[in-house]
Amino acid sequence: MSKLNAQEYKCFEDIKTIREDRSEFWSARALAPILDYTQWRNFTKVIDRAMIACQNSGHSIDSDFAEVSKIVKAGATTKKVKDYELSRYACYLIMQNGDPRKEVIALGQTYFAIQTYRQEIQDRFNQLDEDNKRLIIRGDIKQWNQLLAEAARDASVITNEEFAAFQNSGYVGLYGGLTVDEIHSKKGLAVREKILDFMGSEELIANLFRISQTESKLKRENIQGLQEASDAHYLVGREVRAAIKRVNGVMPEDLPTPEKSISEIEREQLNKLKKRKKPLMLDE
């Protein structure tokens, strides 16, 4: 996250609680006022809808929405009230079911979506083989490239030629001066083959970060014009490269090019699915 985003998300970080076993939760009672719900009964309606979504997604309500009691002051006396210890996934579902007109709800959707995605990646990604890692990241890149194209259009990068120049700037920053054509040639690809389809998971992740952060930067800073947008894309690419260098990583242009393209892997998996399908049993 950038410093700006980290500051924006601070309201959610400040109420996060870490248990002794290092697991984390958010108190529903603490979350409600942050989301501008002054009446608890109104917020419980959102929680109820989120619980239904949780159940439908196959998650455990008892685990993600752990019901607890809490002592609060009511004037000179104290009383017990119901509270929930919410997992990050529960918080994400609450944001999805909250009032979308509230700016803080939109902010929470982004924050908890990022946190939930990170956890899913941590829990499941390393269990995948390389081919499936490539498929998943390439799918994410397709979605983020669409968002980047929209952000570029909003920044007045209109024609195909302008967008190609804008895209090239990001690659030049990430690949230490190499253009799209030079990367294509270095990988030994045919004319119509796409460089993103011939990247391993590590190289794809670097490009995913370049794309997502450029999209955010264009929108956040309201960048306008081809030159300014291209400069921003180059800068993000260069910063991603610098981060790789700081952790002694392998530069993207030095990573091996997979023998199989993403398209080949997709075809192989589709064929496997077809073979698994049983013939339809019809009444005779």
129-141: pLDDT as tens digits:
898 888 888 888 8
8-12, 99-103, 113-117, 196-200: range with lowest mean pLDDT: 113-117
Which has more pLDDT, 260 or 127?
A: 260
* Residue 13 confidence class, pLDDT cut points 50, 70, 90: confident
User: What's the mean pLDDT in 56-83?
Assistant: 85
pTM assigned to the model: 0.58
| Whole-number percent of the chain with pLDDT over 70 | 88
User: What's the mean pLDDT in 26-46?
Assistant: 93
Contact 241, 174 (CB under 8 A): yes
- The domain segmentation of the chain, as residue ranges, is 3-116, 130-262
* Residue 2 confidence class, pLDDT cut points 50, 70, 90: very low
Contact 168, 180 (CB under 8 A): yes
pLDDT score for 129:
86
Which has more pLDDT, 106 or 260?
A: 260
pLDDT score for 117:
61
User: What's the mean pLDDT in 49-75?
Assistant: 85
Predicted confidence (pLDDT) at residue 279 exceeds the cutoff of 80: no
4-8, 12-16, 120-124: range with lowest mean pLDDT: 4-8
Predicted confidence (pLDDT) at residue 5 exceeds the cutoff of 70: no
Return d(Cα 154, Cα 166) in angstroms, integer.
13
Which has more pLDDT, 227 or 7?
A: 227
Instruction: Spell out the SS3 assignment of the chain.
Output: CCHHHHHHCHHHHHCEEECCCCCEEEEHHHHHHHCCCCCHHHHHHHHHHHHHHHHHCCCCHHHHEEEEEEEEEECCEEEEEEEEEECHHHHHHHHHHCCCCCHHHHHHHHHHHHHHHHHHHHHHHHHCCHHHHHHHHHHHHHHHHHHHHHHHHHCCCCCHHHHHHHHHHHHHHHCCCCCHHHHHHHCCCCCCCCHHHHCCHHHHHHHHHHHHHHHHHHHHCCCCCHHHHHHHHHHHHHHHHHHHHHCCCCCHHHCCCCCCCHHHHHHHHHHHHHHHCCCCCCCC
Predicted confidence (pLDDT) at residue 46 exceeds the cutoff of 70: yes
Query: Chain-wide mean pLDDT for the chain?
Result: 86
pLDDT score for 273:
61
* Residue 276 confidence class, pLDDT cut points 50, 70, 90: low
Contact 42, 60 (CB under 8 A): no
Predicted confidence (pLDDT) at residue 39 exceeds the cutoff of 80: yes
